[in-house]
Amino acid sequence: MSEQGAAVVAAVAAVADRLESERSHLTDLDSAIGDADHGGNMARGWAAASEAVAELDDPEPAEVVKTTGKTLLSEVGGAAGPLYGGSLVFASPELADGITADSAVAFAETYLEKVQDRGDARVGDKTMVDALTPAVHTFKKSVEVDDMTPVEALAKAVAAAGRGVDYTVPIRASKGRASYLGWRSVGHQDPGATSTLYIMEELLDVATARLETPEQLPDDAESPTIPDGEVTED
Ligand SMILES: [Mg+2]
């Protein structure tokens, strides 16, 4: 399997595990300002996506991403399927020639653009866009201006997404089901921004372990292993 394709399959599996372990937390967040389905939707959708991409024969990154998106579209109801899944399908061709700094930036920008269009959401509406926008802008700047590697840039982007999640707490929702609550949405963290951060954190973990210096790894190289006990999730 291509090293990059295998890394993306591993990333989808890592996201599925993480969202399963965050299922009740995301449900709690969505209970406060939504309809309490986000934890179940994301856990179920990504578990199905992980199974689907594991079946692919020697896939390239774009095929893994497209299959993930199509599976989310078919498994996840409501707004989340088109937002998370449809946007992955739409952005996947940006990775047609593999994952490079430039293609990763193009993928991230196209994904954000599609999420914004489908959700008709902008920064400040208290949605996943509040995590995604600073993350994508930071990623692009880190690669194009600060000349970081994609993995270094992704670490910066994850930090920016985390600040974006915090920013959703004190603001009033203007899009999605939470907007029906008006000012009563203030003080609650947005579940979509939160799951977006979790997905990005898992991408960073896998990218750090597997993609940092792909040109130095022979095709059959063992992935670097992370010693037990050094990775904490909280
Ligand atoms: Mg919901």
Domain ranges of the chain: 3-211
pTM, 2 dp: 0.89
Contacts of 16 (CB under 8 A, 6+ apart): 43, 46, 47, 49, 50
d(C-alpha 155, C-alpha 201), whole Å: 8
Distance from residue 205's CA to the centre of ligand 1 (Å): 27
Distance from residue 112's CA to the centre of ligand 1 (Å): 20
Tell me the pLDDT of the chain (234 aa) as tens digits: 589 999 999 999 999 999 999 999 999 999 999 999 999 999 999 999 999 999 999 999 999 999 999 999 999 988 899 999 999 999 999 999 999 999 999 999 999 999 999 999 999 999 999 999 999 999 999 999 999 999 999 999 999 999 999 999 999 999 988 999 999 999 999 999 999 999 999 999 999 998 765 444 444 445 555 455 444 444
Distance from residue 217's CA to the centre of ligand 1 (Å): 42
The token pair that represents 28 in the structure block: 């709690």
The token pair that represents 68 in the structure block: 């993930």
Distance from residue 222's CA to the centre of ligand 1 (Å): 40
* CATH class for the region spanning 3-211: mainly alpha
Q: CA angle, corner 25, sides to 24 and 27, nearest 5? A: 60
Distance from residue 175's CA to the centre of ligand 1 (Å): 12
| pLDDT for residue 212 | 64
d(C-alpha 63, C-alpha 49), whole Å: 12
| pLDDT for residue 113 | 97
Q: Which residues surround ligand 1, an ion (CB under 5 A)?
A: 30, 34-35, 37-38
Distance from residue 35's CA to the centre of ligand 1 (Å): 4
